[in-house]
Structure 1
Amino acid sequence: MQFESPALNIQHLKVADMKSSLSMLIVCMLFAFSQKAHAQTLRLVPTFESCSVYVQDTVLLPKQLNLQYRQADQTHWQAGHALVNSDNDAVPRTSLFYLKPETSYQVRVIDEQSKVIASNTFTTWSENQPIAKTVFLTAADFEKSGLHLTDSGTAKGWIRYVGDGQTIFDAGDQSNSAIHVDHAHYIILQNIILKGGKRHGIHLDHASNIIIRNCDISGYGRVGTHRPDRDGKYYDANNKAINWDSGINIDLSKRIVIEHNFIHDPRSTANSWFYSHPAGPNAIFLRTLGQIVIRHNNLIGSNQHRWNDVIEGYGNGKIDGGANCDSDIYGNYMTIANDDGIELDGGQCNVRFWGNQIQNTLCGISTAANVRGPSFIFNNLVANLGDERGATGSAVKNGGGTTYTHGISHFYHNTFYTRGSGIRAVGYGKDDNRSMFYGVSRNNLLVVSGNGIRDPHAPEQCDYDYDLFATPYNSAGAYTIARPMEQHGIKSKAQLRDPRHGDYRPATSSPANHAGIIIAGLTDVKNQSNKPTIGSFTATDSPSFPARKLPIQTDQQHLLITVTDTVGHAGVQKINIQTNGLTEPMRYTIQKNDAFGWLKVTPQNGTLKPGQSQALTVEVDKTELKETGMIPAAFIIKLQDGRSLPITVSVKHVSHSYTFKQLAKDCHGADYFTADTGQDQGIWFTATQDRKLGDRKLTLNLDIPQTGDYYLHLQVKCPEPGGHHDSAFLSLNNEPARQIGISPGDYWHWVTISGKSDAMRLEKGANRIELYPRESIWINQIVVNTMPLGLGQTPED
């Protein structure tokens, strides 16, 4: 079945063979005209599991409109999500969620008296396309240059290009992309292991109706020269910063499906914000004409090959920027980047982002700016944020100000568990109110070290309620909103099952259980009770994430492995695959990044049987692991039918043991600061009014036993403004002092000070650390050791 939006379905009343009066004919003609007008008023744009709804004739619409829908073979009408518009587009619009593929639906809009204002029908996309021709690719197709595709199929017969799933097709860097789909349509790329492309793995160039399915894409992009003397970016031979090289580059294309792919190991890497705005490779780049579906992909970076953004969008402030419109991004695993997990920035007109997992990025989701809207961000998991320095921003960053903010971003049923902030006004553009945005939140579980929501503007379009605020340090959380909201919000300990090992479900005692509110068209579709649970998970859900329909799950979703060089064996963990959802035997294979050669998972392949668990051994080979510190990684359990389950791995690699611990009040220079007379015994670490560096500092003199990587941990309490800001200055061994960031939180918690990375390289012998105040914070304890901290951990853990 073709992906093109179906023509408006206009119902006609047959009058043939009717022996009626002229008045009856007039009635029939009026009825037919009414039905046609209803259909023309209601524009519907479906995908597989969603549909955008637009009420186009806005001239005579009543003030109150209600959306209803049902499957065509059912009688009961379900309430849809509320219709909204924007201050630059009066058309009422919204989305339908959790639909079935290749299924017909009826939609109607009624007024407050239940009078039908508009109605229409649609059919969701089919997952089975008619194939006119299959082309079996060979390595010879890529020897001289990339594959250049210009032939098109049709809606009745697609052209399918397939690999054997074993042969690596390496295009080198002789052409800009390994596969170039050039103004072609109705094409499927399937089961291809692809390397190369000077810039991109696959370039979709003014294409439409394209499916990229079950492909392995790596080894693409330019390398360049790192220029820390300039702005830290990587520059090509033409002295231009390298950016936007992508595994899949969607370039002015529409009706694109990207599903079940593994994108990893670009040739290059991205710089961090330590130098300047990150630039570098992406897994997927979006410059679209709409109707994009990106689902069930594993997009995995590494410390050697970090993404800039995992998914980056063109035109952050443009009405057609990012995914543009009528698009779904769901069930994806997105990790290890120096900026965002995804840039939704731009049009965001019925753009739906749901069921995704993001981690090990500076920020999770960017919506700055929402130029048209509405966007829907729901049932996502953002956890364990951090760029290559360990620095964190927020789970969602918003902004745009008066110039760019016009559409509403909806945040529903998300779980955020991380250092940093939750839903935060950050900024875009040059307006004085550049951090202003329009946001609506319900039923979010915000377990963050900073503010769960921070909105210093809160215009009338904003509405926050029924969210739960907690911290990863087992305490109640906080929010800062410019006007009173969160009447039903909860500040409490989150009480989750086992977040350290990736189980973010609420425990039986959690206040999140049945504390939310039904969201019309969304929550009730999932058959929750009248009091839905806050967050992405209910107590009875599978802990596996991202949200995928899988017949397997594992007893751990996040493996924590500690490797110490002074111990004679490598770190080893066990994980069990549970197969209760299988109805017949199914083969599996382990996939992982080339950069994770030190990570061994055995057995690497085998057959899973219904009702029988399969144990995997996960081991770190110290002879191949060259970096130290907290190292993010992952591997994938790939099933023979193309579905997959990603497993997160965090390796703590310690070269040797060393600990220096001191109370701040006992440090040299503590007399310059006011001591807390309460039981906390901290000092008020505050600068002079002009914030100039001087004698007001804390000095640590260390005798380091051997050259290596060390970590500076502070136990701090940060009052307002409490953003992720530069809160102090650090000088190491008389070097010029530099600004350092302190994670927010008006309670005692541990932070690790970062520079180019979160580790300090100290030489054997005498070393001096000097801390200067900038913005006022409390400091209680200072620890220098060789052990990086996991989220929620203390140096004693």
Structure 2
Amino acid sequence: MRSLFLALAVLFLSSGCSTLQADTTQRVNLLKAGDLSDTQAYVKHWQTPQTTIAQITSVDAPKDINHYLQVNTGNEVRRHYGYIGQKATVKPNTLYTVKAMLRSESKDNGFVQIKRYKDGKETQRFNIGQSDGPRWKTLTDTFNSGDTQIIEILLRWNARQSYLNQTVDFAKVSLIEVGPAPTESASYEPVAIPTFHSVGLYWKPKEAAADNPCTVAYRKNGEVDWKQAMPLWLDPNDHAFPATRHSGEYRGSIVYLEPATQYEIQLTLTQTNTTQTFTTTTWDENFPIAKRIQIPDGNDTLNIEEGGDSKNGYVLYEPAPGATGIRDAQNKHAVNISVYASYVIIKGFKLKNAGQHGIDLRDVQHVIIDDCDISGWGRVRDVDGYGENLNSAIHSRSSKLQTIVIQNCNLHHPRSDSNSWNQKRVNGSKHPEGPQGISFVHGKGQYVIRYNKIHSDIDHMYNDGMGELHNFSFGGFPNRDSDIYGNYVSHCWDDGLEIEGANMNVRVWDNYIDMTYGAIGAASPSLGPVYYFRNVYGVSRKHEGMTQNDLRGHYLIKLGNENPIWTAGKMYLFHNTALQPPTFEGDKHYQSSGAQSGIVFTSKRKTASNITSRNNLIHTRHDNNWAIRDTQITPSNDFDYDMYIGKVMAREGAQKNGVRARPLYERASDGRLWLKPGTPGHDAGELLPNFNDDYTGKAPDMGAVETHSVTPKPKLWPAFPEEPKLPQPTIEVPK
């Protein structure tokens, strides 16, 4: 396991943020007036917007600082963060260290951000840390400039309602050249990054070529017979830094593995007969406990500062004997639990009424949040009554966040409410913003989010069930090497699951999504591959009213962005189902309440490539809804073997083996619906190695549930709604 985590660290080094420590003594600061001690020099060299209130001061300055820049956040609510910035020209492929000191009245209000520019355009941004409140904190990070030409250092603060009329202080800001960056190898041996049930594979051999496919075989250690998995995808893109190392790389995943099991994996390049065989071990669900800390009930913030390590195991925080596990912040404390230590388990707490977040994860790794009930969190804006964006039951803004497990949690009924697409926020837009179940901003990935229920009511809606802000980037959520499965997510005015960003070896399956505008936001796999399989979508609704526009539905899977840089990664869509539940009570406009589109580009200007869809069951409300809508008629997008009743816009030959009909179901004893034997879509799917090996009958069925499946229903899935009888499509499938 240690060798695999070391390999993971090497891969992450190219993402822009690193943990390198360098000797920067006696080096030249590339930032002019970076010491923030002289007002005239500050005004000359730092870009400061006119609305910013800032001054150089020495009031209450410690001896080692003397002077600092004090920013007042002002009294006007703004949608975005405030900033003061300075740009510096940098050398290519060179290591630089940025360092700054900061403090703020409220924890997390201040932070330092780095932006990269090439040819006059921003290519990446990342944060190096946040303020911890009134005590001074030093932030430092060393990074590779790559092909960046200009670096901008931004001193930033939150200008939203709960942070108004506060001060944020910055001091001793520096950007120093360290020396040449290590040269990356043009090729490397296979790397395996496991989770409980999956493993992500990376390989860059010298023989890599488009006409040299890479097959995958695997078996438990000690077994004789090999099983086949999906071939690895060869990334044909020439990516900009920091994703340069992933150009020309084979990537892919093996799924449905058993925990705590060693597997032997064999990769073969079919044209050159190049073979690599190696082993990896999946995560163990029995977490070693080094120490137990039992917590009495209380209302103040629980700060977790003691953790374990890889050798001895985790520190488990749990309610004390006889305690209820309730921590009720009563809207007096911003957070119920703040986690500052790694190798920590938080188990069995009932967290209520935090001012912002239920649990806030700082610069930590290896944290497990298990069996927690979180409700009533989030600030409500005075200016319009909507919730502050991304206030979350479980939250992090750390660029160092990695290896996090969230399982068996009930995240429900935030205090605040998101606006719908029908409601405009003050100093904002109609795009939904507000509370979320889970928000990991800037994190490194390797998350497992499973068996959680994220739900609410129509007066306390979410923006998205989970996600972050930087969807069009080489980061995003969940970034990479992550599994999201077995969750129930509902009550979102935007996406139930917003899975957008790099999406390298991200697997999303067995999730039931209900009462949202869209099911899955999959607009931007910049790297991939990302796998969406056997997810189920129920009710789709746009607004809170009862007009026809309020009750209209939207997509099963959303695709596309205007910039093809962010949509060139690989995406697989297998065995997903859009149901058609009965109509809303009192609705006189529609005959059902499910999705009104399937796998779709949401505008004519958007692009997305390298998509493969198979065996999906796309049941839309009408036969004139879009089942597949690829507005660019993209040659690399392969839509086939799907069942649908709507229209298809795709390359010539798409859905050659598709089935155009409404599904005819029979009900399983556990409440699921599967296709009735002998009806359209039954035994009509394509065999997908490792994804539907356990099919019954002559061939796999279309949709998320195999007829007569012996696989148990995921425990959080409800009984499927009884579908109303709707007319079959009037247009025959083209041949």
The answer to whether the superposition gives a TM-score over 0.5 is yes
Q: Which residue of 2 aligns with 1:207?
A: 364
Q: Which residue of 2 aligns with 1:161?
A: 317
Q: Which residue of 1 aligns with 2:499?
A: 344
Residue 339 of structure 1 aligns to a residue in which SS? strand
Structure 1 residue 263 corresponds to structure 2 residue 411: yes
Bigger share in strand: 1
> Using a 3 Å threshold, how does the CA distance of structure 1 residues 304 and 217 change in structure 2: closer, same or farther?
same
Deviations 1:558-583 (A, max 9, x none): 599xxxxxxxxxxxxxxxxxxxxxxx
Residue 74 of structure 1 aligns to a residue in which SS? coil
Structure 1 residue 121 corresponds to structure 2 residue 292: no
Q: How far off is 1:460 after superposition?
A: 2.5
* Residues 410 and 452 in structure 2, CA contact (< 8 A), matched pair in contact too: yes
Which of 30, 43, 49 is equivalent to 2:197? 49
Q: How far off is 1:116 after superposition?
A: 4.4
Residue 474 of structure 2 aligns to a residue in which SS? coil
> Using a 3 Å threshold, how does the CA distance of structure 1 residues 372 and 487 change in structure 2: closer, same or farther?
same
Q: Which residue of 1 aligns with 2:703?
A: 535
> Using a 3 Å threshold, how does the CA distance of structure 1 residues 336 and 115 change in structure 2: closer, same or farther?
same
Tell which deviates more after alignment, 51-60 or 413-422: 51-60
Deviations 1:174-223 (A, max 9, x none): 433111112x2100000111113221000111110010001101111102
AA paired with 2:224? T
Tell which deviates more after alignment, 59-68 or 250-259: 59-68
AA paired with 1:5? F
Structure 1 residue 280 corresponds to structure 2 residue 461: no
Map residues 253-652 of structure 1 onto 2, 5 A cutoff. Answer: 253-275=401-423, 276-287=430-441, 288-387=443-542, 388=544, 389-401=550-562, 402-417=564-579, 418-427=594-603, 433-449=605-621, 450-470=625-645, 477-497=646-666, 503-524=672-693, 526=694, 528=696, 531-541=699-709, 545=713, 547-548=714-715, 556-558=719-721
Unmatched tracts of structure 1, length 5 or more = 9-36, 228-232, 236-241, 471-476, 561-649, 651-715, 718-744, 748-797
Structure 1 residue 109 corresponds to structure 2 residue 267: yes
Identity %: 29
Provide the rounded CA distance (Å) in 1 between the counterparts of 2:278 and 2:655: 37
Provide the rounded CA distance (Å) in 2 between the counterparts of 1:515 and 1:151: 55
Q: How far off is 1:54 after superposition?
A: 0.5
Provide the rounded CA distance (Å) in 1 between the counterparts of 2:415 and 2:710: 36
Unmatched tracts of structure 2, length 5 or more = 9-184, 240-246, 424-429, 545-549, 580-593
Q: How far off is 1:352 after superposition?
A: 0.5
Provide the rounded CA distance (Å) in 2 between the counterparts of 1:3 and 1:124: 13
* Residues 379 and 416 in structure 2, CA contact (< 8 A), matched pair in contact too: yes
> Using a 3 Å threshold, how does the CA distance of structure 1 residues 73 and 314 change in structure 2: closer, same or farther?
farther
Q: How far off is 1:114 after superposition?
A: 8.4
Deviations 1:489-548 (A, max 9, x none): 01112112269x964311234212110011123222x35555111111122137975x34
Residue 404 of structure 1 aligns to a residue in which SS? helix
Q: Which residue of 2 aligns with 1:704?
A: none
Q: How far off is 1:58 after superposition?
A: 4.4
Relative to the length of structure 2, the TM-score reads 0.65
List 4+ stretches of structure 1 deviating above 6 A.
Answer: 1-4
Residue 90 of structure 1 aligns to a residue in which SS? coil
Q: Which residue of 1 aligns with 2:64?
A: none
Provide the rounded CA distance (Å) in 2 between the counterparts of 1:128 and 1:382: 32
Q: Which residue of 1 aligns with 2:334?
A: 176
Provide the rounded CA distance (Å) in 2 between the counterparts of 1:310 and 1:746: 36
* Residues 138 and 169 in structure 1, CA contact (< 8 A), matched pair in contact too: no
Tell which deviates more after alignment, 410-419 or 47-56: 410-419
Provide the rounded CA distance (Å) in 1 between the counterparts of 2:465 and 2:208: 44
Provide the rounded CA distance (Å) in 2 between the counterparts of 1:173 and 1:437: 46
Deviations 1:724-767 (A, max 9, x none): xxxxxxxxxxxxxxxxxxxxx989xxxxxxxxxxxxxxxxxxxx
Provide the rounded CA distance (Å) in 1 between the counterparts of 2:508 and 2:379: 30
Q: How far off is 1:171 after superposition?
A: 2.3
Residue 231 of structure 2 aligns to a residue in which SS? coil
Deviations 1:438-473 (A, max 9, x none): 321001111112222111223222101111113xxx
Q: Which residue of 2 aligns with 1:767?
A: none
Provide the rounded CA distance (Å) in 1 between the counterparts of 2:664 and 2:711: 15
Provide the rounded CA distance (Å) in 2 between the counterparts of 1:192 and 1:422: 39
Q: How far off is 1:5 after superposition?
A: 3.0
Query: RMSD of the TM alignment (CA)?
Result: 2.9
Deviations 1:351-404 (A, max 9, x none): 110000001000000011111111000011012211433232111110024242
Provide the rounded CA distance (Å) in 2 between the counterparts of 1:118 and 1:528: 33
* Residues 553 and 595 in structure 2, CA contact (< 8 A), matched pair in contact too: yes
Provide the rounded CA distance (Å) in 2 between the counterparts of 1:487 and 1:314: 38
Larger Rg: 1
> Using a 3 Å threshold, how does the CA distance of structure 1 residues 2 and 101 change in structure 2: closer, same or farther?
farther
> Using a 3 Å threshold, how does the CA distance of structure 1 residues 383 and 403 change in structure 2: closer, same or farther?
same
Provide the rounded CA distance (Å) in 2 between the counterparts of 1:43 and 1:405: 24
* Residues 403 and 445 in structure 2, CA contact (< 8 A), matched pair in contact too: yes
Provide the rounded CA distance (Å) in 2 between the counterparts of 1:187 and 1:201: 16
Relative to the length of structure 1, the TM-score reads 0.60
> Using a 3 Å threshold, how does the CA distance of structure 1 residues 199 and 219 change in structure 2: closer, same or farther?
same
Residue 397 of structure 2 aligns to a residue in which SS? strand
